[in-house]
Amino acid sequence: MNRSHGTRDLRAARAREIIREADIPTLRTALRDSSQYVIMADEEDRELGAELARLQQEHRDLDAAIDALHQSPAPDLLRLQRLKKRKLQLRDRISFIEDQITPDIIA
């Protein structure tokens, strides 16, 4: 009885060793892939940040252009309408990017 108990322990130890050896390359690959994902996510955040800054600047420029048109003696209403529509499109895109950068976290 003692002998079969020892054999069973050896088999279990060998099985654990085989599993560990098989998992090391898998774990290395998973770690490498996850670090690549982090690098890609950081790069994507930087790109989104740059696009966000560009869109916010364009939004401010449109706001100034709209104000200037309102101040003119005879504003071009069609142009004013188009600028306001573009400004709303920019606002939607800005909101979308802001949500991508800082997603809602339900606590």
DSSP string, 12-44: HHHHHHHHHHHHHHHHHHHHHHHHHHHHHHHHH
User: What is the rounded (10 degree) CA torsion for 75, 62, 92, 96?
Assistant: 180
The answer to whether residue 53 sits within a structural domain is: yes
The answer to whether residue 67 sits within a structural domain is: yes
pTM passes above 0.85: no
The answer to whether residue 106 sits within a structural domain is: no
Task: Report the percent of the chain where pLDDT is more than 70.
Answer: 74
pLDDT of residue 1: 47
pLDDT of residue 102: 83
The answer to whether residue 107 sits within a structural domain is: no
Domain count, the chain: 1
Structural domain boundaries, residue 18: 2-101
pLDDT of residue 42: 77
Weakly modelled stretches of the chain, pLDDT under 70: 1-6, 22, 27-28, 30-31, 33-38, 40, 104, 106-107
pLDDT of residue 5: 60
The answer to whether residue 85 sits within a structural domain is: yes
